Chain A
Amino acid sequence: MATNTQTIKDTVKNYLMTEFLPGEDPNDLTDTTPLVTGGILDSISTFKLVGFLHSKFDVKLNANEIANHLNTLNDITDIVQAKQGVA
């Protein structure tokens, strides 16, 4: 079942804040903050995020999607929705 946009976004943001940015101000992490190119997610944390998306939303991402579609909260939300739509 598809999850609505805001729920995905909030869930992912909550995960990123707890897992990688404890103690930081959530307002600093916007929908367009670059996560990979901004150095917030390194390769290990990217793979942790991929694992989280799989367990939480039952979404499997291929290498290209991991490399190119996880850079912002908006990107992540879009790819999760797109993958759920075809599931």
Chain B
Amino acid sequence: MTRRLENLLGDAHQLYPDRVAIEGPDEQSVSYGKFAGAVAKIAALLQAQGIGNGDRVGIYAHKSINTVAAMFGIMTAGAAYVPVDPDAPIRRNAYIFSDCQVKAVWAEDRLLSRLQGAFPAEQVGRVLRIDDVSGICLQEIQFPDTVRSDDHLAYILYTSGSTGQPKGVMISHENALSFVDWCSDTFQPMPEDRFSSHAPFHFDLSILDLYVSFKHGATLVLIDEVTAKQPAPLAAFIADRRITVWYSAPSILSMMTQFGCMETHNYDALRLVLFAGEVFPVKYLRSLKQIWQQARYFNLYGPTETNVCTYHEIPADIPFERNEPYPIGKSCSHVDCQMLTGEDGSGELVVRGASVMNGYWRLPERSAKSYHIDDKGAAWYKTGDLVQIDTAGDFIFLGRLDRMVKRRGYRIELGEIEAALYRHPAILEVAVVAESVDEELTITAFISTAAEEKLSLIKLKQFCADHLPLYMMPDRFNYLDGLPKTSTGKVDYQQLSLQEA
């Protein structure tokens, strides 16, 4: 029998019917028993509307217990869920729902009119509700000739394409479960654990939070989107709710070490700190470890297309003189990772194995291009990330291949300039973009500093010259109060490039 994600809930329900499955942002909570009941009702409603195997259902709602119930209900009915950022422009979300031809969307009541307005009237079907599942409802959407998807598809996560429209990463139940099982082996979760749910559901970090926590009968603590972005309230929340397993992108952790007033809280419960999605500047990681001392720290790495595929445990003590970021580490046991050797001992990281996606939704050519086929005919997903292997056999992340530029014949990895500038004590955040106009390359560093202090250009250039070859010297330094972020909390390079232009 093929395994499915929603069965994790069934198992937990059998074993721990009275344990708390989810705590909502507003402190209401639901037991596994009660939650399983809500999920069954949603699944029954969907099936009564003819929604099941081979269908997609959208999720257009902020974080709540009922949103999670909708996700499980969709899978229980046999369909795949497609979560979107409820705060993104409706045009983008309507594009996603149209692209994957959802049969219906679980939408928050207050977002319903916005959703309906984005489709022609003849496509907008009925609105259905379940009495005791408040706040969200099912909006039917009609497309002519809906395509059937693979029965094994669990969810589709849309990631921004570097050019134009977002593309849908198709993840099967087996893909996701192979990763969940690896988490079980590596992190030894317990029913007593309290998992943070910091990442939004359209971000692949949410997969660990949701399914690892349910698999082990633990409690998932939902963090609302507003608190999630504010260092001081968030730092208090983590302490008050006695989170034991934290997982997020590093940027919010860096913010908390600077603005979270963390030393005033008690974090005894915290045992595991996981981060992924971008490079964690060592100066902030060091500060964090001084506050959250007893926890174990893991750097997880993997694009949405593979979920986590390498990991590295951060040692207990970070040497004072260390500035370079930690490796992304070694392959997780459920996948194989390799470096396609290129120039100077670095190369693109490629991945194959159980958690690697089944391609992009209805983009066969784009999907085919994203794999490297080896001598034996095996397909490896090309991450687009440039790595090196250190003497310990760990992969070191150097940067995005598409963030590599050339100047005077030298290869420049923009991430390396960022890493150098992050060493500057007065620099809080930095992002470097390159723009080529008439073959003339301009490198601009966007910087935010403590107390809006503008740094001496002479000293800043001197600092760069001390840490970088001269051909990597940024041409311009622009000061911002803070760097723009995407809805998943990463630096928004597209936005910065626009400012640049």
Contacts and interface: CB of A to CB of B under 8 A. Distances in A.
A29 interface: yes
B465 A37 contact: yes
Contact of B473 (A28, A29, A33, A39): A39
B461 interface: yes
B contacts with A: majority SS: helix
Interface residues on A, range: 10 to 19
B459 A28 contact: yes
Nearest to B472: A39
Interface string B458-482: 1101101100001001000000000
Interface in A7-54: 21, 24-25, 28-29, 33-34, 37-40, 42
Interface in A66-80: none
A28 B456 contact: yes
Contact of B462 (A21, A25, A39, A42): A39
Interface of B: 456-459, 461-462, 464-465, 470, 473
Interface of A: 21, 24-25, 28-29, 33-34, 37-40, 42
A21 B465 contact: no
B461 A24 contact: no
B456 A39 contact: no
B456 A24 contact: yes
Nearest to A36: B470
B470 A39 contact: yes
Contacts of A40: 458, 461-462
B456 A38 contact: no
B457 A24 contact: yes
A21 B473 CA distance: 15
Nearest to B466: A38
A44 B473 CA distance: 14
Contacts of A29: 458
Nearest to B462: A38
Contacts, number: 32
Contacts of A37: 465, 470
Nearest to A26: B458
Contacts of B458: 21, 24-25, 28-29, 33, 38, 40
B409 to A, nearest CB: 14
A15 to B, nearest CB: 15
Contacts of B461: 38-40
A33 B462 contact: yes
Contacts of B470: 37, 39, 42
A29 B457 CA distance: 10
Shortest 9 CB-CB contacts between residues of A and residues of B: A28-B458, A39-B473, A39-B465, A39-B461, A28-B456, A38-B465, A38-B462, A24-B457, A40-B461
A38 B469 CA distance: 10
Contacts of A25: 456, 458
Nearest to A22: B457
A22 B159 CA distance: 43
A21 B461 CA distance: 11
Given A28-B458, A40-B458, 5 more contacts: A37-B465, A38-B458, A38-B462, A40-B462, A42-B470
A38 B457 CA distance: 11
A48 to B, nearest CB: 15
Contacts of A21: 457-458
Nearest to A24: B457
A29 B473 CA distance: 18
Contacts of A24: 456-458
B457 A34 contact: no
A22 B100 CA distance: 54
Which of B458, B461, B462, B464 has the largest number of chain A CB atoms within 10 A? B458
Contacts of B464: 39
A29 B456 CA distance: 10
Nearest to A20: B457
Q: Which of A25, A29, A33, A38 has the most B CB atoms < 10 Å from its CB?
A: A38
6 contacts: A24-B456, A25-B456, A33-B458, A37-B465, A38-B462, A39-B464
Contacts of A28: 456, 458-459
Contacts of B456: 24-25, 28
Contacts of A34: 462, 465
A28 B462 CA distance: 11
A51 to B, nearest CB: 21
A24 B454 CA distance: 10
A60 B462 CA distance: 28
Contacts of B459: 28
A80 B456 CA distance: 28
B455 to A, nearest CB: 10
Nearest to A30: B458
Contacts of B473: 39, 42
A21 B458 CA distance: 8
Nearest to B470: A39
B488 to A, nearest CB: 34
